[in-house]
């Protein structure tokens, strides 16, 4: 299935895997790229040497293009920004900030730059700064989110910029992908769907919690601190939201999430850890390989777009 984005990135299918902190390491990224999508290594808050090793390890597993997601709140963002240029990474996506200051270096290195945005204003600014495309990420997503839903955000971003728009947030099957195309997107980015895959090196407890989640099971913590984060509800979110309602100070709240994602992903502590997930977890019922996920998604999408308006 060819779109402006598959051509831009040299991939087979218009599916990008989210650059999820702790989850998106080289095994997952390589598996998604091997299956014809674009896999991403999530640099999260890791030191740049870890990112360099991950890039080299992914290259051992696939000859196809893959990318790196740079979380701009990371203390190591400046170093990681240089490493991706040095290592000849094909695609960079960014999150949780404005990547303008790195843009010239990346463009000079021949990198395709795709900032993740949660507003029309940042999308326009990124286009002016030379971005090749943007991911418009709605607040159905897991992790750090903006204010606006995918349904409302994507068409507004599509109208505001000339570069291709990739939709993210609340998409996990062919219906979501077909809907994103109807909103004007040229590809989708999916995170939660790829957490529950065989190749994702994620503790079984985390995968199990996503597979068992229902529609109403996510919560957003940190709205008062200016860092809203969506995760599956557990003891941590309950305690956090109680404290937040009592007006607890920023430092006390941060203590609750600090290291919480690592504890959930690596140690399987899904009670006091941060089980970041999108609202679409309720639709994800089965662990599959990345190849099975992508094949199913593309079959469903093609059938829907052919006018067979029945799902499957
Ligand atoms: O970045 C994400 N999702 C993330 S990052 C992350 S790591 C983390 N861990 C613990 C606490 C907090 C973060 C987990 N999930 N998605 C992309 C995204 N970017 N969503 C929203 C934004 C965003 C928000 C405001 C981008 C830019 C922005 O303003 C920038 C500006 O300067 O205007």
Q: In what order do the strands lie in the sheet with 15-17?
A: 15-17, 187-190, 165-168, 134-137, 112-117, 91-95, 66-71, 39-42
Asked if residue 186 lies in contact with residue 3, where contact means CB atoms within 8 angstroms, the answer is yes
Q: Output the DSSP codes for 164-210.
A: -EEEESS--SHHHHHHHHHTT-SEEEESHHHHTBTT----HHHHHHH
Tell me, using a 6 A CB cutoff, whether residue 229 lines ligand 1. yes
Residue nearest to atom 29 of ligand 1 (CA): 97
Do residues 78 and 85 touch, judged by C-beta distance below 8 A? no
- Angle ∠(211,233,291) on CA atoms, nearest 5: 25
Report how far residue 79's alpha carbon sits from residue 233's, in angstroms, rounded to the nearest whole number: 34
β-bridge mates for residue 113, sequence order: 92
Closest residue to atom 14 of ligand 1, CA basis: 143
Pairing between β-strand 134-137 and β-strand 66-71 as defined by DSSP bridges: unpaired
Q: For residues 278 and 142, is the Cβ–Cβ distance under 8 A?
A: yes
For ligand 1, the distance from its centroid to the CA atom of residue 143, given in whole angstroms, is 8
Distance 311 CA to ligand 1 centre (A): 33
Helices first, then strands: H and E counts in the chain: 14, 11
pLDDT reported for residue 308: 60
Q: Which two tokens stand for residue 118?
A: 């949660």
**pLDDT for residue 310:** 55
DSSP 78-103: HHHHHHHHHTT-SEEEEESS--GGGH
Predicted confidence at residue 254, as pLDDT, reads 82
* Distance (Å) from CA 72 to ligand 1 centroid: 8
At 1 the pLDDT is 87
The pLDDT, as a whole number, for residue 177 is 98
Q: How far is CA 300 from CA 176, 178, 262, 297, in A?
A: 10, 9, 34, 5
Is the pTM higher than 0.85? The answer reads yes
With the most atoms of ligand 1 within 8 angstroms of its CB, the residue from 114, 144, 170, 276 to mutate is 144
Angle 113-49-112 from CA coordinates, rounded to 5°: 10
HSE, side-chain direction, 13 A CA sphere, residue 286? 7
* pLDDT tens digits, 111-156: 999 999 999 999 999 999 999 999 999 999 999 999 999 999 999 9
Distance 243 CA to ligand 1 centre (A): 22
Q: For ligand 1, is residue 260 a contact (CB within 6 Å)?
A: no
State whether the beta carbon of 55 lies less than 6 angstroms from ligand 1. no
Of 68, 62, 15, 61, whose CA–CA distance to 37 is shortest? 15
Sheet containing strand 143-144, strands side by side: 143-144, 229-232, 218-221
The CA radius of gyration of the chain, in Å to the nearest whole number, is 18
DSSP-assigned letter for residue 162:
S
Give me the pLDDT at residue 122, please: 98
Q: Show the low-confidence residues of the chain (pLDDT under 50).
A: 312
Residue 249 CA to residue 258 CA, distance in Å, equals 15
């Amino acid at each position: 299935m060819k779109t402006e984005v598959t051509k831009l990135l040299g991939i087979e299918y218009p599916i990008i895997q989210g650059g999820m902190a702790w989850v998106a390491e080289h095994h997952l990224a390589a598996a998604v790229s091997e299956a014809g999508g674009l896999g991403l290594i999530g640099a999260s808050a890791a030191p740049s040497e870890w990112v360099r090793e991950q890039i080299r390890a992914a290259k051992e597993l696939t000859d196809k293009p893959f990318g790196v997601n740079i979380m701009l709140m990371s203390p190591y963002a400046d170093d990681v920004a240089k490493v991706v240029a040095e290592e000849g990474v094909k695609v960079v996506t960014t999150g949780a900030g404005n990547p303008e200051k790195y843009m010239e270096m990346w463009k000079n290195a021949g990198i395709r730059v795709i900032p993740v945005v949660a507003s029309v204003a940042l999308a326009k600014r990124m286009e002016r700064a030379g971005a090749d495309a943007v991911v418009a990420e709605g607040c159905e997503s897991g992790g750090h989110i903006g204010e606006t839903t995918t349904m409302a955000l994507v068409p507004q971003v599509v109208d505001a910029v000339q570069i291709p728009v990739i939709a993210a947030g609340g998409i996990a099957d062919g219906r979501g992908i077909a809907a994103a195309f109807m909103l004007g997107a040229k590809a989708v980015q999916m995170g939660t769907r790829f957490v529950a895959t065989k190749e994702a090196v994620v503790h079984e407890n985390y995968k199990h919690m996503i597979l068992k989640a229902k529609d109403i099971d996510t919560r957003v913590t940190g709205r008062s601190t200016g860092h809203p984060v969506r995760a599956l509800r557990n003891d941590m979110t309950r305690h956090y939201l109680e404290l937040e309602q009592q007006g607890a100070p920023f430092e006390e709240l941060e203590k609750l999430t600090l290291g919480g994602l690592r504890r959930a992903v690596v140690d399987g502590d899904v009670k006091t850890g941060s089980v970041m997930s999108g609202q679409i977890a309720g639709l994800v019922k089965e662990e599959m390989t990345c190849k099975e996920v992508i094949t199913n998604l593309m079959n469903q999408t093609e059938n829907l777009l052919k006018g067979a308006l029945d799902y499957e």
